[in-house]
Amino acid sequence: MPPVPLAVLDLVPISSGSDAPTALRNTVELARAAEEFGYRRYWLAEHHLNPGVAGSAPALVIQAVAQATREIRVGSGAVLLGHQTPLSVVEQFGILDALYPGRIDLGVGRSGRPRGTPPVAQAAERGGTFTDEGLYLPPKFTGFARLLRSPRFRLQLSLLQQPGAQTPAYDEQIDDILALFAGTYRDEDGVEAHATPGDGADVDVWILGSSAGESAEVAGARGLPFGANYHVSPGTVVEAVEAYRAAFRPSAVLSEPYVAVSADVVVAPDDETARRLAAGYAPWVRSIRSAEGAITFPTPEEAARHEWTDEDRELVADRVDTQFAGAPETVTEQLDVLQRATGADELLITTITHDHADRLRSYELLAQAWFKRA
């Protein structure tokens, strides 16, 4: 049986000592390489007010990547609907489809405080479980409330939303996007609206989510493909895909569920080298979860000088313990376990190293090892 396809999720990371223009040029170079390596799609994430990432406007970066490549699908992972209206998203991606027809994915996600997030500022509990396939599921991270209460997060919302703006219900936003693409949108008075471009665009709409909550339910109920985030919330990935499949109803898009699962990966010729290249990951995650904003990605030497407290270690434990860093054979075995445990139809790989050449090489080594099993 051939292995499932691989895809790329790029956060457009900025390395220490570098800058945003370099990071964006590196993204274009990596996208060209990923197409040559055999990756199915190339997605760009959306992040704001983070010194260490340059992917603040996915549609613009998608345009640059699509222009530089030939056939690989290019999309967002994900556009955050709390920051834009459905019409603005459809118009942006309608333009992209008009320029690069049949190649554009629109991955969407919610933003703001997730429904049901516990109002507790703490790290993950100790412990964890393994699935029957051997996939490690750490305890659920419960520190999101700390991020959402931070002054930096409040500032981000104030800069991204008009004063007094209220984000509509997520399912309503998705329905509006689907109707605008289909050319069937009408308001409550029956007045039609047609996005130009956008109406009739050949854009694949995906829902991305981290838990068995609204995103998984909306994706399943509307028969859309679903992206589950093992790299963001590893403790909830299995329940997320199970909720999606339970809610799934066949649609004109899909006759049965389709799931992509993400993972943080670093591949090098041997395990020791891979672990060294991945050393910056822990302080980088700490900077995000402590509400400071993502730092520029450190060198292994800079990471080694980082001073850790027990609270710091707990804050990042679930992410560090579920990063796949090793030789090609080591990582392909781990990804195989992830695929079998989740039933993933596709794996979405995100890799960050300080040196761009090491990042390119990681994606190349992984593709060579993964696809030779076909």
- pLDDT of 166 reads 84
- The answer to whether residue 204 scores a pLDDT higher than 90 is yes
CB of 10 closer than 8 Å to CB of 42: yes
Query: What are the distances in angstroms from CA 372 to CA 31, 195, 257?
Result: 21, 44, 27
- The answer to whether residue 148 scores a pLDDT higher than 90 is no
Q: What is the pLDDT of residues 206-227, one digit of tens each?
A: 999 999 899 999 999 999 999 9
Confidence of residue 125 (pLDDT cuts 50, 70, 90): very low
Q: What is the mean pLDDT of residues 154-170?
A: 85
CB of 52 closer than 8 Å to CB of 23: no
Q: What is the mean pLDDT of residues 331-347?
A: 98
Q: Which two tokens stand for residue 116?
A: 């049901």
Residues forming beta bridges with residue 135, ordered by sequence position? none
- The answer to whether residue 276 scores a pLDDT higher than 70 is yes
Cβ neighbours of 154 (radius 10 Å) = 11
Confidence of residue 126 (pLDDT cuts 50, 70, 90): low
| Residue at token pair 């068995």 | 212
Query: What are the distances in angstroms from CA 139 to CA 93, 235, 270, 314?
Result: 37, 5, 29, 11
Cβ neighbours of 61 (radius 10 Å) = 24
257 sits in the region (left: phi over 0; alpha: psi -120 to 50; else beta) called beta
- pLDDT of 118 reads 34
Of 3-12, 160-169, 264-273, where does mean pLDDT reach its minimum?
160-169
Q: What is the mean pLDDT of residues 356-370?
A: 98
Confidence of residue 145 (pLDDT cuts 50, 70, 90): low
Domains along the chain? 6-371 (3.20.20.30)
- pLDDT of 117 reads 37
- pLDDT of 152 reads 78
Q: What is the pLDDT of residues 14-61, one digit of tens each?
A: 999 999 999 999 999 999 999 999 999 999 999 998 999 999 999 999
127/318 Cα distance (integer angstroms): 10
User: Which residues are within 8 A (CB) of 18 and not within 5 positions of it... i.e. 6 or more apart?
Assistant: 296
In the chain the first and final C-alpha atoms are separated, in Å, by: 7
Which has the higher per-residue pLDDT, 285 or 124?
285
Which has the higher per-residue pLDDT, 97 or 116?
97
- DSSP calls for 79-134: EETTSS-HHHHHHHHHHHHHHSTT-EEEEEE--SSPTT--S----PPS--EE-TT-
Cα 211 to chain centroid distance, Å, stands at 13
Q: What is the mean pLDDT of residues 323-344?
A: 98
- The answer to whether residue 143 scores a pLDDT higher than 80 is no
- The answer to whether residue 124 scores a pLDDT higher than 50 is no
Q: What is the mean pLDDT of residues 353-371?
A: 98
CB of 199 closer than 8 Å to CB of 94: yes
Instruction: Give the whole-number percent of the chain exceeding pLDDT 90.
Output: 84
135/124 Cα distance (integer angstroms): 18
* Sign, Cα dihedral of 110, 111, 112, 113: positive
Report which secondary-structure segment, H or E, holds 205: strand 204-209
Q: What is the mean pLDDT of residues 70-95?
A: 96
Confidence of residue 253 (pLDDT cuts 50, 70, 90): very high
- pLDDT of 242 reads 98
- The answer to whether residue 112 scores a pLDDT higher than 60 is no
Q: What is the mean pLDDT of residues 80-94?
A: 95
